[in-house]
Amino acid sequence: MNEYAVEHEISGHEPHWETSPWPLVLSMAMLFVFPFAFSLYFVYGKPIMAILSLGIGIPLTVLSVAGWISEGVGQTREPGYSVKAMPFFIVAEAFIFVAFFVGYWVMRLSASSWPPAGTPEIALTVPIIMTIVLVSSSFTIHLSEQKMEHGDRGGFLMWLIVTIILGTLFLGLSMNEYSHLFAEGFNFKTNAYSTAFFSITGFHASHVFVGIAMFICILIPALMGKMSKSFVKSASMYWHFVDIIWFFVVTQVYFWS
Amino acid sequence: MYATEEALRHKPGFGQTLREWIFTIDHKRIGILYLIGSLAAFAVAGLMALLIRIELGSLGPTLTSNPGTYNVWLYFHGAAMILAFQIPALTGFLANYLVPLMIGARDMAFPRLNALSLWLYWAGIILALLTFVIPDPPDVMWTGYPPYSLKTGGNTAFYVFTVHLMGFSSIVGGINLLTTIFYMRAPGLKLNKLNIFVWSTMGAFVLQLVFIPVLAAAVTTLLFDKYLGTHFYDPANGGDVLLYQNLFWFYSHPAVYVILLPTIGMIFDIVATFAKNRVFNYNMVVYGGIGGVVLMSGEVWIHHLFTSGMPDWIRIGMMISTLLISIPVGLLMIGLLGTLYRGAIQYTTPMLYAVGFIFLFLIGGLTGIPNAMTAIDLYIHDTHFVVAHFHYVMAVATTFAIFGSVYYLFPKMTGRMYSETLGKIGFFILFAGVNITFFTMFIVGFKGMPRRYYDYQQFPQLEGLHHIITIGAYIIGIAALLILISWIHGLIAGKKAPDNPWGSKSLEWTTSTPPPPGNFRELPILTEEWHPYGYGRSK
């Protein structure tokens, strides 16, 4: 284990008080994007102010993430620690899903009849297509990783882009399904099933979104000739996790009814 | 490898110094910024406690005739003390400052992420402080139970996002620290030679990683229910109110151990240093005590819900598991007492706080036993007895450990010594104050005073005891001021501190005082004989 410490020591640089403004900027941006915008819109009913708050927060977020990456990609020494850290993050993420599923099971197992009144027929072909899309994206990111290991930059970039496209397709299918369900009058407020359905699938979709964002954060510096192998490996690990969670979502929320 | 002497002698200007502090990604400075934030939170939340006590000091409305205002004080006191003072002071300040030094690393694995968790925490503090400015502030205690939190006109969203920011900050910090401990130890530092504090921090962060997400999910669903109209906690539409209580305490009981573990780990380090003794039963403390607490912490949460309508078989089971968890905690206590036994004890200020911790924790722990027993708990649930119990066991004992650690690390952090006299005066006044306050609270609680009441017209006979509690609260306030003065005095007028004023064997004292960027002149390489508690028996 300790060889990491020793290796970094050899390639280490002159210690001084290191600084980076981006963590601070990102945290303050988070304040505007989430609590302020949400409260202004939902609690105080001021949509214009909420949009203003997002207008401050989102550019700051993008700016700080970009600044962070441009600092980090150049400095990270290989082998980086991010591959080692990602499993810890995945454990944490898994437990959020556990809690959501527990909420769903509690409502479901205590219900007298399931699905509750007001639930329309939910087509099962869409989730099958979504499963195929997501599973194949897991394969493509694996291919991309392998190409990277073999030093094939073109192949790496191509499969990475294919993965991003597949992920976006998945989100598009999900949005499309939502809009159909909304049109049929099935939304957050309908009943216990809609509560679980939209929170679990929506929460999973937000993870797909984060995964895509990670890939874009790898793609843009890679196009400019900078990349870190550990980032790629850990992002791909996260993507596989999102894929595995989807199996639970699909079996529990769609097919068990 | 090391900054040249010339570079060290170069004095940066004020602007540069400020930039180097605010944008810092160095673990020691981040640790100190955590400490500043948590002490600020302690001050404001402590002020809230004083307001609460003045309100309860005499019968009838005293400071406010609006129970809603009282609820906001309670909300702020509880949420800020736990989320913004204790957890950040232990897993933010102490873990950040000490762990890389104790394991002989130059910094954390992810210095920028470390800064991110610091500033997310500060964002949480900003949000908590906005409570006093915004219209309809949150008034849901620190628990946010539905259906009240869903029906209240208060801004529950602020509560939820405060929890999210602090929680995300802890998760990011936890990932960072676990990676650091596993992969960045100095060559030769085996796992069974880690300081107890490093072990206990590891345990605390394992708990954070597993349980915070559950709390995050619980409060998120609360947000969905209140503002998007979902039905997680709406029984009329197939939801379940008790689900929230279960999810909440599934995190919040282990959170007690997140607080307890680093606390007791720090006490081990202080006690071993000042008793000049090895840690008694090291393996049993680490694997039985810390490991046992980590393994069992997730199986006891129902004891918070004994009166919430749980089936009997769950209540009995959780009563037994709650009583069983006193075994690993007992192993930790035995370890502490064994370390003191036949030690060459020096009663410096940090040591006084450590000994005070042992006493207070014992009272808190023993009064936990009746609380754990369902039959007794049905009678004392939601009374001041419970309030006194958890203040002893986690609020006061932990605060003693935090203050003790600040004194212990004061020379290392600031390069100056604090005044022992001022430190000791502060300690004794604080010790008297907390015992007057919280021991009387046991009696009031046992006589039937419910918690969270802003007035007690039904119990006029308790007014005298409530007076005493309020006087105790004033004494605590005076002690806190004295402690602050002793730190400021040390900062301004303290003598210059040597590298290792306590004669400790642990790694953090081998570097210069205060430690330079990069921590060590040369990465320490540890011999077979070296041990952080390697004090010979002959001393």
Instruction: Give the chain A residue whose CA is nearest to the CA of B124.
Output: A31
More confident position, A123 or A88: A88
Which of 195-234 (B) contact A at CB < 8 A?
209-214, 216-218, 221, 223-224, 227-232
Nearest-CA distance from B160 to chain A in Å? 9
Calpha distance A231→A237 (Å, rounded): 10
Please answer yes or no on whether A16 and B25 come within 8 Å at the CB atom: no
Calpha distance A187→A193 (Å, rounded): 10
B104: region left, alpha or beta (phi > 0 left; psi from -120 to 50 alpha): left
What is the residue-wise DSSP string for chain A? -THHHHHHHHT-------B-SHHHHHHHHHHIIIIIHHIIIIIS--HHHHHHHHHHHHHHHHHHHHHHHHHHHHHPPSSPSHHHHHHHHHHHHHHHHHHHHHHHHHHHHH-SSSSPTTPPPPPSHHHHHHHHHHHHHHHHHHHHHHHHHTT-HHHHHHHHHHHHHHHHHHHHHHHHHHHHHHHTT--TTS-HHHHHHHHHHHHHHHHHHHHHHHHHHHHHHHHTT---HHHHHHHHHHHHHHHHHHHHHIIIIII--
Which of 115-144 (A) contact B at CB < 8 A?
116
CA distances from B158 to A61, B87, B127, B139, B431 (A): 20, 19, 7, 10, 35
Task: State residue B249's pLDDT score.
Answer: 94
Domain residue ranges of chain B, discontinuous segments joined by + = 13-509
Q: CB neighbours (10 Å) of residue A194?
A: 24
Residue A42 has its nearest CB partner, among B25, B157, B231, at B157
Nearest-CA distance from A218 to chain B in Å? 17
Q: How confident is the model at residue A9 (pLDDT cuts 50, 70, 90)?
A: low
Residues of B in contact with A8 (CB under 8 A): 106
> Judging by beta carbons within 10 Å of its beta carbon (0-12, 13-18, 19+), is residue B464 exposed, middle or buried?
exposed
Which of 154-213 (A) contact B at CB < 8 A?
188-189, 191-192, 194-195, 198-199
Task: State residue A78's pLDDT score.
Answer: 64
Within its chain, how far is the Cα of B421 from the centroid? 26
Residue B157 has its nearest CB partner, among A26, A43, A110, at A43
* Token duo for residue B323: 């009583």
Q: What is the pLDDT of residues A134-156, one digit of tens each?
A: 999 999 999 999 999 998 999 99
Chain B touched by A81 (CB under 8 Å): yes
Judge whether B338 and B281 are in contact, CB under 8 Å: yes
Query: For chain B, how long is the longest CA-to-CA vector?
Result: 73
Secondary structure (3-state) at B416 = strand
Amino acid letter, B517: P
Instruction: Give the chain B residue whose CA is nearest to the CA of A83.
Output: B179
Nearest-CA distance from A85 to chain B in Å? 6
Task: State residue B27's pLDDT score.
Answer: 94
The answer, yes or no, to whether the previous bond of A221 is cis (omega within 30 of 0) is no
Which among A7, A15, A83, A4 is positioned nearest to B184, based on CA atoms?
A4
User: In this model, does residue A13 exceed pLDDT 70?
Assistant: no
Q: CB neighbours (10 Å) of residue B415?
A: 17
Instruction: Give the chain A residue whose CA is nearest to the CA of B128.
Output: A35
Percentage of chain A beyond pLDDT 70 is 91
Secondary structure (3-state) at B46 = helix
Which among B326, B436, B350 is positioned nearest to B391, based on CA atoms?
B436
Task: State residue A14's pLDDT score.
Answer: 59
Which among A99, A202, A208 is positioned nearest to B213, based on CA atoms?
A99
Calpha distance B50→A206 (Å, rounded): 43
Residue B209 has its nearest CB partner, among A18, A92, A106, at A92
Nearest-CA distance from B119 to chain A in Å? 6
Contact partners, residue B191, CB within 8 Å, separation at least 6? none
Nearest-CA distance from B169 to chain A in Å? 10
Calpha distance B182→B191 (Å, rounded): 9
Chain A touched by B387 (CB under 8 Å): no
Packing angle between helix B156-183 and helix B111-129, nearest 10 degrees?
160
The CATH number that domain B13-509 falls under is 1.20.210.10
The pTM for the full model equals 0.92
Instruction: Give the chain B residue whose CA is nearest to the CA of A17.
Output: B517
Instruction: Give the chain A residue whose CA is nearest to the CA of B116.
Output: A23
Calpha distance A76→A84 (Å, rounded): 14
Residue A19 has its nearest CB partner, among B25, B127, B212, at B25
Chain A touched by B240 (CB under 8 Å): yes
Which among A122, A257, A109 is positioned nearest to A186, based on CA atoms?
A122
Residue B3 has its nearest CB partner, among A2, A16, A107, at A16
Nearest-CA distance from A106 to chain B in Å? 8
pLDDT values of chain B reduced to their tens digit, one per residue, 539 residues: 344 555 555 667 788 888 889 999 999 999 999 999 999 999 999 999 999 999 999 898 889 888 888 988 998 899 899 989 999 999 999 999 999 999 999 889 999 999 999 999 999 999 988 988 988 888 888 888 988 899 888 889 999 999 999 999 999 999 999 999 999 998 889 898 999 999 999 999 999 999 999 999 999 999 999 999 899 998 888 888 899 999 999 999 999 999 999 999 999 999 999 999 999 999 999 999 999 999 999 999 999 999 888 889 999 999 999 999 999 999 999 999 999 998 899 999 999 999 999 999 999 999 999 999 999 999 999 999 999 999 999 999 999 999 999 999 999 999 999 999 999 999 999 999 999 999 999 999 999 999 988 889 989 999 999 999 999 999 999 999 999 999 999 999 999 999 999 999 999 999 988 898 888 888 888 888 888 998 875 43
* Token duo for residue B145: 């139970």
Which among B213, B298, B293 is positioned nearest to B250, based on CA atoms?
B298
Q: Between A and B, how many residue pairs show a Cβ–Cβ distance under 8 A?
A: 215
**Which of A1, A2, A194 to mutate to probe the B interface, most B CBs <10 Å?**
A2
The answer, yes or no, to whether the previous bond of A115 is cis (omega within 30 of 0) is yes
**Which of A10, A11, A17, A200 to mutate to probe the B interface, most B CBs <10 Å?**
A17
Residue with tokens 């409305």: B61
Calpha distance A240→A207 (Å, rounded): 11
Residue B175 has its nearest CB partner, among A20, A43, A88, at A88
Q: CB neighbours (10 Å) of residue B490?
A: 21
User: Which value does ipTM take for this structure?
Assistant: 0.91
Task: State residue B525's pLDDT score.
Answer: 82
Task: State residue B486's pLDDT score.
Answer: 96
Percentage of chain A beyond pLDDT 90 is 69
Please answer yes or no on whether A96 and B7 come within 8 Å at the CB atom: no
Which of 246-285 (B) contact A at CB < 8 A?
247
Which of 49-78 (A) contact B at CB < 8 A?
68, 71-72
Q: How confident is the model at residue A7 (pLDDT cuts 50, 70, 90)?
A: low
Task: State residue A74's pLDDT score.
Answer: 67
